Amino acid sequence: MVTTQSTDGSEIAYERHGDGQPLIFLHGGMAPRQYWNPVLPHFEEYAAVIPQRPGFGTCLDDLETTSADDVLNRETQYVRTLVDLVDGEPILFGHSFGALTAVESATDAAVGAVIAYEPAVLPDDYRTRADLADRMAALVEDGERQEAVKRYVEQVLHPHGIDDLDAWLAEWPVWPDCVELAEEVVRMNRAVEQYQLPETLDVTAPVLVMTGTDGPDFLRESARGVHEALPHSRLVEFDGVSHGGPGEAPGRIASEIDAFLRE
């Protein structure tokens, strides 16, 4: 892990693997950076940069008082600082909240391309009635951290249901880490619930927006909305893939990304 400081004194921590054009991986709000482990072997020709995002192990004195309004700004500033630290124009690859962060960061950062798998954006009609953050926060306050994070899993990762969720979670390697991130996931959900997609996203770099047919319908709708708001983008939908696409089907997704970047 490389640790350095930005010009404002905040801590920037990241892993770097390999050589080549930097490819910055931005995980979502429900997973630690280890989420990318199944993906990395498919991108060995790049210098993989995996940051320790704010609130996921980095030291932030004001983390507990960071408002939902400030969460996305905090994230994008962190990414823009990281972009300045690496050589050349990196590629941003984000999943879920990391995808939203990647797109928003690219409005004011010199990047070669953006890859966004199901950006965490809510359609207007869905956003007005979204209450996941409140439901999770109430459970965390009652000491039910696992139950709080399970609400997220049920709504976002397995919206169509699963036979034995507890058994699935017991076999999920990152589950204990996810439970530890409960408060941060609540903050991010509040930020998502407040975020309104603008009519136009001022991103000059080419963007690949991806979604899967087995994830939440509202995220598929939002992926199309993000695609339409971008001036230079391509939308790809993967049949039979859920919201956890990059970790679930890394080979299929890497193949599409490779074709996109080679163009």
Per-residue model confidence as pLDDT tens digits over 19-47: 999 999 998 876 667 788 899 999 999 99
Residue 58: per-residue pLDDT: 41
Q: For residue 248, give the 3-state DSSP assignment.
A: helix
Residue 102 located in a structural domain: yes
What are φ and ψ of residue 236, in 5° steps?
Answer: -125, 130
Provide the pLDDT for residue 182: 87
Distance from C-alpha of 113 to C-alpha of 260, rounded to nearest angstrom: 10
At 60 the pLDDT is 40
Q: Give domain status of residue 243, yes or no.
A: yes
**What pTM did the predictor assign?**
0.89
Instruction: Report yes or no on 164 lying in a domain.
Output: no
Q: What's the structural domain count of the chain?
A: 1
What range defines the domain where residue 108 resides?
Answer: 2-123+197-262
| pLDDT score at 64 | 46
CATH number, domain with residue 23? 3.40.50.1820
With bands split at pLDDT 50, 70 and 90, how would you rate the model's confidence at 56?
Answer: low
- Of the chain, the percentage scoring pLDDT greater than 90 comes to 59
In a domain, 149, yes or no: no
Which pLDDT does position 229 carry in this prediction? Answer: 97
253 within some domain: yes
Within 8 A by CB and 6+ apart from 97, the residues are: 28, 29, 75, 120, 188, 191, 192
Query: In the numeric block, which tokens belong to residue 153?
Result: 């899993």
pLDDT at 246 over 60: yes
Q: What is the mean pLDDT of residues 136-164?
A: 90
Closest to 10 measured CA to CA, from 106, 78, 72: 78
The CA distance from 144 to 147, in Å, is: 5
pLDDT of residue 227: 98
What is the tens place of the pLDDT at every residue in 188-243?
Answer: 899 999 999 999 999 999 999 999 999 899 999 999 999 999 999 999 999 999 99
161 Cβ neighbours under 8 A, 6+ residues apart: none
Show Cβ contacts of residue 129 under 8 Å, excluding neighbours closer than 6 positions. Answer: none
Over residues 62-103, the pLDDT tens digits come to 444 455 568 888 889 889 999 998 988 999 999 999 999 999
The position carrying tokens 């980095």 is 58
In three state form, how does the secondary structure of 170-207 look?
Answer: HHCCCHHHHHHCHHHHHHHHHHHHHCCCCCCCCCCCCE
**Does 84 reside within a domain?**
yes
DSSP class of 76: H
b/e burial code for range 93-104 (CB count within 10 A of at least 16 → b): bbbbbbbbbbbb
The answer to whether residue 178 is domain-embedded is no
In a domain, 153, yes or no: no
Cα–Cα nearest to 226, from 198, 253, 206, 205: 198
Q: What is the pLDDT of residue 94?
A: 96
Could you say which DSSP state residue 239 is in? T
Q: What is the pLDDT at residue 8?
A: 64
> Counting Cβ atoms within 10 Å, is residue 263 exposed (0-12), middle (13-18) or buried (19+)?
exposed
| Range 165-170 average pLDDT | 91
